[in-house]
Structure 1
């Protein structure tokens, strides 16, 4: 398969934050290993002056998803904390990039970058039609963000060489991939787009 990046494309980098890296509060196995590949995608989009959106969890300490507040997850990505910062080595361009904070209300959880954020409006303002999605975790926030995009009418490419999942229950990541493809996502890798 050979694909071209076009004028109406955008890159969505999902939740590459310290707390999701190995050693963090809620680590995704191998999440740090995809940073070099992510940077390759980011740099190609930067060269073409195409928009890049970085989503992040940005929770208050009282967030309902935390175990101490009756939720299922350990405390993570507290707004302004080191754990909520983007991970070491991730290239954040100075121009044409947007930071999308989600889960900012204590009473509202958000796995998708579209839930309670201006992401859809920003994409529509720019005439974006197709999203390339990468980051963590395949079976949680990547999945929900991509499915949200499909539900909103965007076409999607899942960058399978630039995602990592939790696989809390064995098979979760494979199931998430199948679901995303059923909804319309195309799986691709760097060489499918840029190496010709």
Structure 2
């Protein structure tokens, strides 16, 4: 095999195309054979999750007139196909990570990625290719991916267009023939002429399982980056001289927990920027989220390292106040401290209601849902240091 096209499994990402309820047998616009490849897709997704390699679910959502020409008349006429927020627009349950919740149509239609799990996102594509008017290429580059593994629904249309666009971006490409519906020998021959590797689920899973240690290396690299940041930040912030704790250990002994805001790389970066600008001094999560993850509630004096959307450590904060109240009783003062939108209580409620419904489901959230309201102070970087680091 040509060394320029041979897959690099350890730096690969799985791209699953259009496997939504409306596109399988029994849906509003079924594509023959899609239901039959779902078990194979499950194996692929689980293998990538176990290896810690990225998974991207690319979806269609038909809203307004931003629809490919061949379907525009039907959609304008009211065809009930992958409409925003409908059950038919959802990913098949078998492929969704536990606790991911429903797709956020508003977020996806804005062109942003929705985080479903660690290194697993959903993207909306307005036309055939997963690269057209989407942040897919940016995400792949951020993950240091040079190989895309494509599978999913209706090979002649969206998977094929995605494969061609990936090849045009000098990415190594694999198509999983027995995890993609409507595959033909002629179609595989044509993409094979572009240097695309045709592989079976068995072959891909076997290859990915062999590179699981590479994913571990990624985790170790991030852990080393967090430790290096912690060593610098605690000296700058004089943490060793403060009476603070990280979990059950003295603050200066080990790095505190490292995490990012929100449920997408975009949101992580957006909210981190507010913290670094001094505008955001509070955050909130629903109590059911803590309970579902078996996580302890934040405590006063606790330290945290904030990560950006790519997982890089960027800030050190200390919790100064924690209170749990019903969603409907969160105050205007706290909403302003969160620093988001126009900082009004109305804006806070709109944004957080949408977020909590996405994470918990509509039936799991109402105005009585307990919300953990946490206030914090920024210890590192200081405003002057952050300005130095970000000024060209």
Q: 1:175 to 1:7 in 2, by over 3 A?
A: same
Task: Supply the distance in 2 between the matched residues of 1:133 and 1:26 (Cα, whole angstroms).
Answer: 21
CA deviation after TM superposition for structure 1 residue 126, in Å: 1.3
Moved more, 55-64 or 128-137: 55-64
CA deviation after TM superposition for structure 1 residue 95, in Å: 1.9
Match of 1:186 in 2: 197
Task: Supply the distance in 1 between the matched residues of 2:90 and 2:173 (Cα, whole angstroms).
Answer: 26
Give secondary structure in 2 for the equivalent of 1:83. Answer: helix
Task: Supply the distance in 2 between the matched residues of 1:15 and 1:194 (Cα, whole angstroms).
Answer: 21
Q: Do 2:7 and 2:147's aligned partners in 1 also have CA atoms closer than 8 Å?
A: no
- Residues 28-177 of structure 1: matches in 2 within 5 Å? 28-65=31-68, 66-68=71-73, 76-92=81-97, 94-103=117-126, 110-165=127-182, 173-177=184-188
Unaligned 5+ segments in structure 1 are 104-109, 168-172
Q: Do 1:113 and 1:119's aligned partners in 2 also have CA atoms closer than 8 Å?
A: yes
Unaligned 5+ segments in structure 2 are 98-115, 208-392
Task: Supply the distance in 2 between the matched residues of 1:125 and 1:14 (Cα, whole angstroms).
Answer: 20
Moved more, 62-71 or 156-165: 62-71
Q: Do 2:13 and 2:53's aligned partners in 1 also have CA atoms closer than 8 Å?
A: yes
Q: Which has the higher relative contact order, 1 or 2, with Cα contacts under 8 A spaced 6 or more apart?
A: 1
Q: Do 1:159 and 1:189's aligned partners in 2 also have CA atoms closer than 8 Å?
A: yes
Q: Do 2:63 and 2:83's aligned partners in 1 also have CA atoms closer than 8 Å?
A: yes
Match of 1:15 in 2: 18
Which one has a bigger Cα radius of gyration?
2
Task: Supply the distance in 2 between the matched residues of 1:137 and 1:189 (Cα, whole angstroms).
Answer: 17
Give secondary structure in 1 for the equivalent of 2:87. Answer: coil
Name the count of aligned residue pairs: 181
CA RMSD of aligned residues (A): 2.4
Task: Supply the distance in 2 between the matched residues of 1:76 and 1:19 (Cα, whole angstroms).
Answer: 6
Deviation sequence 1:77-105 (CA, Å, 0-9, x none): 122222111123224363210111011xx
The TM-score, its normalising length taken from structure 2, stands at: 0.43
Deviation sequence 1:156-195 (CA, Å, 0-9, x none): 1111110002x8xxxxx34432221111111101222344
